[in-house]
Structure 1
């Protein structure tokens, strides 16, 4: 059980996420709750307006597919945004036979954790209220081919994809290190999986071949989110403005080649407000007075070296002050690596060469050449961000033999676990730029007649900004008098991976999008009953954290 013991520690997440959730036990939904919401009875007041929902096709990424809790699994698919959307379309002439590439797995395959070698497969996260935090279930399943008829599909949501993957056969294969566009979630239901990355079906091509009369397109999140989740370290998955413009335009142009096809496009929401970037705070290091005094004494040499390069080498005073480490009793900023900082190695070498510090002192400075405490309450930015994945690392020992090597306190936390102010600006700039491109392209497609509704998740009166307290200062959104929180607590609207909405979150999104469709196409559509859907599911002896030896 050594592996399970190590893995259980991986999911120790701050309990702050769960503070203030009332009626937790009452809100926990049993695993076998009916998947679909109770439909409102047909009414003559409901109308498709100028739209034709008879063959609705959904195109997008994990949000469309029903991926949640870090896996694609049965209940998530049953309450996907695509399914919930179609359930409302059905009342006004939409199809009653909405087909998805069913995964046929109760717990799915957890793509956020490293699966152990051997036969054990880890599935979706559930909530372990004893941690409290997410833990994967032991009984997962590998990703298997779709056994149904690919020609009859309506949902073409593929977890993890970027805009460009909608257009390339390489998304369907081959599965190799030389093909970064490959997606096992598309390959499993591709009408013609590619053997060479050049020839074969594409996601968009398969969706158009389904003969849609109405589509939804929610794509582009991963063109920004992937870079953010890497802590701003993987530039290769950060789409450029030019590529985004070209690729998104190609997607819309292809869709508009289908006569009379109408649909809705959804932009990229404020991704840095989601729990994955908010559950662990920048000032997560809580110390008592005795410990803070001891740490300050230990860092006196580092701070003195910073003063020395200012006085003797002309280093910038403000930069040196920003890097200095000073702890106090209470909450303290996390100590991090910031690769945007000047590497002070050469200047520390100069101090050693001049005899200002000894070789031993110089060696002790190596971990801090690009280190500094995190910053909070910055103008126009707020706090710098710590990724949820850092919750398992902060405070642990970088060297098990050295009790003074606590990560984030003495040893700087790695760059892959944080987003600095520069990275936040870079991500937000790209997100807003991509949203502007999407809106411009849709406006161009609508130049002669309105065929596409554009739904902005960033509207000042929308649910997203309300949920994150960006419009009224109150965290959460009220639904039928119930306050639902922007987290993965029992009263939350996010799944336990901290990124994707749970079923209730999906319903909130769908209801917002339906309003946009109504306004654009003169339709009158019923809303999804949000509170009738499940929130999170709780570990019931099936999670890694609950196994003996964990």
Structure 2
């Protein structure tokens, strides 16, 4: 059985296709640090009907510059807000764009915790795995030591729409608590309004659905209700319009399930030879017999039973998962035991499979599953590899039902966002709208929704929707890297130009770095780790 999970991990990480990992991408941060942007008076630019004198960015991690699982110096440096502000300079806008500087080279990795007091930093790409690994030298989140009243970037990682409106956010979210103007009484939106913007970007709402997806759709409270989203988003836009004279751009929720975190691990990651497949099938014969019995004697659906059956073959096989939407077969297995159909020992052996089945086509495995799949549920028993013999927990997968629920919520929230913007404009507001789901948009091209296949071409260079060195995502599998943010900034600029008759130069995407490679500073490179 040892060969099963060793092969499994190999297959998992084979999905992280690498392109020429020679370390050159690390040097791009330094080599191009001052290349983009540099205001050039010879470049044609005009603010048109817009006023970029005091630009303010409002949103979540996508605005803050969070990437690679942390908020760190270079992430902030290449944040969406910072990149947009730099391009606005060409139109004559001031060069000042103050961010709540984190003052940490690697930041605090919010996705991993050693439990022993060691603070880990941002992920980097370890080409020997291949895959992401946190850096060993992270920093705790510390208070911002600059002037909160002079800030322009109000992007706060992890927040939902409603958290722009409540003072409790400073207590619950250290990324806002560190720069809140009055912790415990101020709100993010109030602070942004107090900055007296002449122009703002508002990109918020992804976490209202993404947080639910990141937990494998196991925590219903992580999915914002339609009523709450409607009320919260309406309040945010109303307060911005009523309490400022600013123009702005509003973006909606992109296709969150297309990001690498939900795509990198293949559903058929269990690779077996014929002998091992035969061994496993023999082990599941008792489960098959129990399914046959509850169909024949207890009226259980034969279609449901067939959906649960495990049948391995040589080659790649689907991962065995827990599906909370399935009927719990525990009571029916108990009935079999009570009437002598199975022994108490057999009943106990069936317990892991009361809601299990092989994952189906179109369903998704989350990236964190890569560290669990193939490991032993019982370290003392080599016959318990997770995802092969023992079902993978529901928090690591999204079933068809989950996907429909998430996409339905996202579609509903996007309809609300567009409606609120339309209503505000009908009352005299000047808001541009960027539809991340529009056919032909960068997201459409990046994920292959336009029929051309995944990936986007920039200045003749093909960039991938992953966290390889030629990718546009950071190594956390969710947030764009600097190049990804540059592509998004250009999308925002396109929408701004169309609404405000402006002419704004595009960000030089290829001048920015993609991912950083581990250089002896990652957990995966430490002896014995």
Correspondence for 2:327: 342
Aligned twin of 1:68:
67
Confirm whether residue 230 of structure 1 aligns to residue 230 of structure 2: no
Distance 1:415 1:355, change over 3 A: same
Closer, same or farther in 2 for the Cα pair 1:461/1:17, shift >3 Å? same
Contact 2:32 2:511 in 1 (8 A): no
Counterpart among 470, 483, 495 of residue 462 in structure 2: 483
| Cα separation, 1, equivalents of 2:297 and 2:485 | 59
TM-score, length basis structure 1? 0.92
1:470 to partner: Cα distance:
1.4
Whole-angstrom CA distance in 2 between matches of 1:148 and 1:65: 16
Which runs of no fewer than 5 residues in structure 1 stay unpaired? 1-10, 174-181, 195-199, 377-382
Q: 1:439 to 1:515 in 2, by over 3 A?
A: same
Which residue does the alignment assign to 1:183?
Answer: 173
Residue 481 of structure 2 corresponds to which residue in structure 1?
502
Per-residue deviation at 1:29?
Answer: 2.6
Q: What per-residue deviation string (whole Å, max 9, x for no partner) do you get for residues 462-520 of structure 1?
A: 11011011112411100011110000001000000001000000000110111011101
> Which residue in the other structure is 2:58 paired with?
59
Larger mean Cα displacement after TM superposition, 407-416 or 299-308: 299-308
- Quick one: which of 515, 520, 523 aligns to 1:536? 515
Alpha-carbon spacing, 1:62–1:154, altered in 2? closer, same or farther (3 Å): same
| Pairwise CA distance, 1:363 | 1.3
Partner of 2:442: 463
Where do 1:22-421 residues align within 5 Å?
22-25=19-22, 28-30=25-27, 32-35=30-33, 37-39=36-38, 41-43=40-42, 45-118=44-117, 120-173=118-171, 182-194=172-184, 200-376=185-361, 383-421=362-400
SS of equivalent residue, structure 1 residue 216 = strand
Q: 1:13 and 1:534 mapped to 2: Cα distance?
A: 28
1:259 and 1:223 map into 2 onto residues whose CA distance is 26
CA apart distance, 1:298: 0.6
2: CA distance, partners of 1:228 / 1:428: 10
* Alpha-carbon distance between aligned partners in 2 of 1:483 and 1:513, rounded to the nearest angstrom: 21
Give the C-alpha shift of residue 547 in structure 1: 1.1
1: CA distance, partners of 2:123 / 2:11: 13
1:53-80 CA-to-partner distances (Å, cap 9, x unmatched) read 0000000000100000000000000000
TM-score (norm 2): 0.96
Between the aligned partners of 2:86 and 2:411, the Cα distance in structure 1 is: 31
Do the aligned partners of residues 206 and 13 (structure 1) sit closer, same or farther apart at CA in structure 2, a change above 3 Å counting? farther
RMSD: 1.5
Distance 1:399 1:159, change over 3 A: same
| Residue 42 (structure 1) shift | 2.8
Q: Is the 8 A contact 1:17 1:489 kept in 2?
A: no
The answer to whether the Cα contact below 8 Å between 1:56 and 1:95 also exists between their aligned partners in 2 is no
Secondary structure of the structure 2 residue equivalent to 1:312? helix
Contact 1:40 1:526 (8 Å CA) reproduced? no
1: CA distance between counterparts of 2:395 and 2:422? 38
Distance (whole Å) between structure 1 residues aligned to residue 153 and residue 483 of structure 2: 19
For the residues of structure 1 that align with 2:44 and 2:484, how far apart are their CA atoms? 26
3-state SS, counterpart of residue 433 of structure 2: strand
2: distance between equivalents of 1:473 and 1:293? Answer: 41
Question: Cα–Cα, structure 1 residues 17 and 489, in superposed 2: closer, same or farther, change >3 Å?
Answer: farther
Moved more, 234-243 or 41-50: 41-50
Q: Distance in 1 between matches of 2:39 and 2:442?
A: 22
Instruction: Work out whether residues 37 and 86 of structure 2, in 8 Å CA contact, stay in contact via their aligned partners in 1.
Output: no
User: For residue 178 of structure 1, what is the aligned residue in structure 2?
Assistant: none
Provide the secondary structure at the position in 2 that maps to 1:215: strand
SS of residue paired to 1:24: coil
In structure 2, the residue matched to 1:6 is none
Deviates more, 1:25-34 or 1:222-231: 25-34
1:74/1:108 contact within 8 Å kept = yes
State the shift of 1:201 in Å. Answer: 0.5
Q: How far apart are the structure 2 equivalents of 1:449 and 1:27?
A: 50
Secondary structure at 2:475 match in 1? coil
Structure 2 equivalent of residue 437 of structure 1: 416
CA distance in 2, matches of 1:481, 1:451: 35
Q: Partners in 2 of 1:209 and 1:13 — Cα distance? A: 52
Unaligned runs of 5+ in 2: 1-8
Q: Which moved more, 1:27-36 or 1:436-445?
A: 27-36
- Checking the alignment, whether the CA contact within 8 Å between 2:250 and 2:434 is kept in structure 1 is yes
User: Is the CA contact (8 Å cut-off) linking 1:35 and 1:78 kept in structure 2?
Assistant: no
SS where residue 496 of structure 1 aligns?
Answer: coil
Determine the C-alpha separation between the residues in 2 that align with 1:494 and 1:360: 49
Q: In the TM superposition, what is the alpha-carbon distance from 1:43 to its structure 2 partner?
A: 4.1
Cα offsets for 1:228-272 (capped at 9, x unmatched): 000111111210000000000000000001343110001100000
